[in-house]
Structure 1
Amino acid sequence: MAVWSSAAAPVLLIGGWTLAAGRQPGGFDSTVGTISALAAENATDRWLMTAALIGVGLCHVVTAFGLSPAALPGRIVLALGGVATALVAAFPLPAAGDAPAHAITATLAFLTLAVWPAFAWRRRSASPLFARRRGSFWSAFALRRGSASSAFALRRGSASSVFALRRGSASSAFALRRGSASSVFALRRGSVWPAFAWRRGSAVPWVLRPPVSAAATLVLGGLLGWFALALATGDRVGLAERLAAGAQACWPLIVVCALRLSARRAPASDSLS
């Protein structure tokens, strides 16, 4: 599910602003006009960009839900970004006047979608619960089993020895050896098994490692900073916004694709769900 939702987000966003811009009378300069202007109350066929923004927001929420290898805080921030993106469409720009609700939701959407990689990284994937506990559980079980087997074997040897003294010394010697051998074997099984029971946990895919997550946040944050500067100066606002929004829509897809490739290369027992 995360594959389809992450792939649909950039398609909806880029396709939405392309179709909506083509429907505006007299042409629309995408390097100057913003995405929000295409969903404004006075825009022609504003439903195109409105539906695209709502679809992108829902896609981010679905992707956050299915991106289980990522850390939970990052998934929550990504989902918040999706909700804020949908709210941008719910609070469109008016034909005239200020739009504080639109400004707040748009700012929240851009910020959360820019910083969520910084909260999604992991140092090491956690080992399955059974694998973590199995070593200690079986260690205790095996040691007890070895001790019990030792006592049982020695008792069997002693009993057989007494019985064999009546029948012959050869049976006595065999019984004692059998008891000792069983004792040594049982204790060794108890001691050796824990060494093979523990698991350290599978390596984290490169896309969720701290350096990559930090680099992604810096790039997305840099594009967002350019957009903020463009808003302040009025220079190519539409271009800066589209680059920032497009990169934010594409990064979840890159993360999902990288995780799928890593899961295919890893052994079945260590694959990420």
Structure 2
Amino acid sequence: MERVGSVERVTTSEAGPSRERPGAPWWAVVSAALAPVSLTAGWVIAGAVQPPEYSAVRQSLSVLASHGGAERWIMTTSLFVLGACHVVTALGLTSLRPAARLVLGGAGVSGIALAALPQPAGGSASEHVASVVIGSVLIAVWPAFVGSSGRSQSFVLSVRGSAAATTVFVALTVAFLISAQGGNYFGLVERVGITPETVWPLVVVLALRRSARREVSVS
């Protein structure tokens, strides 16, 4: 009986940390979910209050937060929340390698910089453009740092899944950067590209939590 009790205590002790340290904490789920919601709500609401000549198909999100945008605080707040959410999510992904957390956090800081460094009413600001480029590249390549051969049970967390996501996101980013040179569908390309990239951290967080639950059940 004493030996059985010892085994039970060891089992409880081993299972305890798994429950205390899931693949991602609940607040990382909240921040990862809030990021795309904030961004989409921002461009929908801000776009609705723009003058008739504004075109979501042709013009970028930066126009909504620029000094010339109507009620620019709406998109500015949205970008700030987006960046802050990426930073918070990165802090919660302790089960990933540090490089993955650093890249996602860097993308979040770039989002905050976008909010703090708006475009002028006319023309363009180099610091804003730099923040856009850096943030776009970081969020596009971030999945490449997530993949691990040790998580083969989850396609999202596997090397193949991460490579597939990175390939798609890099292609979308290249299309965005090309359209920024004067394309008539710049705004549309930007929205189509940024949406899956912003949702992907949530996909990873949920996959990590699912993977952690499977490990606990197996043990």
TM-score bracket relative to the smaller structure: 0.7 to 0.9
By how many angstroms is 1:246 displaced? Answer: 1.0
The one of 72, 79, 84 equivalent to 2:98 is 72
Q: How does 1:238-249 map to 2 (within 5 A)?
A: 238-249=187-198
Cα distance in 1 for partners of 2:182, 2:117 equals 25
Residue identity over aligned pairs, in percent, reads 39
1:206 Cα deviation (Å)?
2.9
Match of 1:235 among 160, 163, 184: 184
Match for residue 11 of structure 1?
A: 37
Aligned 1:113-132 pairs, distance under 5 A? 113-124=139-150
- Aligned residue pairs, count: 193
Aligned to 1:214: 163
Deviation of the 1:83 alpha carbon: 0.2
Structure 1: which amino acid aligns with 2:205? V
| Distance apart, 1:205 and its partner CA | 3.5
8 Å Cα contact 1:61/1:78 also seen in 2: yes
Pairwise CA distance, 1:42: 1.1
- Structure 1 residue ranges, 4+ long, deviating more than 6 angstroms after superposition: none
Q: By how many angstroms is 1:28 displaced?
A: 2.9
Specify the structure having the higher radius of gyration (Cα).
Answer: 1
Alignment of 1:264 with 2:213, yes or no, is: yes
- Residue 212 of structure 1: CA displacement? 0.7
User: 1:208 is paired with a residue of what secondary structure?
Assistant: coil
The corresponding residue for 1:254 is 203
Residue 69 of structure 1 deviates from its aligned partner by 2.3
* 1:89 corresponds to 2:115: yes
SS at 2:156 equivalent: helix
For residue 96 of structure 1, report the CA deviation from its aligned partner: 2.0
Query: Post-superposition shift, 1:204?
Result: 5.9
2:62 to 36, 40, 46: 36
- Gaps of at least 5 residues in structure 2 are 1-26
**Is the partner of 1:235 in helix, strand or coil?**
coil
**1:75 alignment partner AA:** R
1:107 and 2:56 matched: no
- What's the RMSD between the two structures over aligned residues? 1.6
Give, as a single letter, the amino acid of the residue that structure 1 aligns with 2:89.
Answer: T
Q: In the TM superposition, what whole-angstrom CA distance separates every residue of 1:154-202 from its partner, at most 9, and x where no partner exists?
A: xxxxxxxxxxxxxxxxxxxxxxxxxxxxxxxxxxxxxxxxxxxxxxxxx
Please tell me whether residue 24 in structure 1 is matched to residue 50 in structure 2: yes
- Per-residue deviation, 1:22: 0.3
TM-score by length of 1: 0.67
Ranges in structure 1 where 5+ consecutive residues have no aligned partner: 126-202
The normalised TM-score by structure 2 is 0.83
Residue 84 (structure 2) pairs with residue 58 (structure 1): yes
Rounded to whole Å, the distance in 2 between the matches of 1:235 and 1:96 is: 18
Distance in 2 separating the partners of 1:266 and 1:111: 33
Q: How far, CA to CA, are the matches of 2:216 and 2:71 in structure 1?
A: 51
Q: RCO greater where, 1 or 2, for CA within 8 Å and sep 6 or more?
A: 2
Contact 2:42 2:74 in 1 (8 A): yes
User: SS at 1:55's partner residue?
Assistant: helix
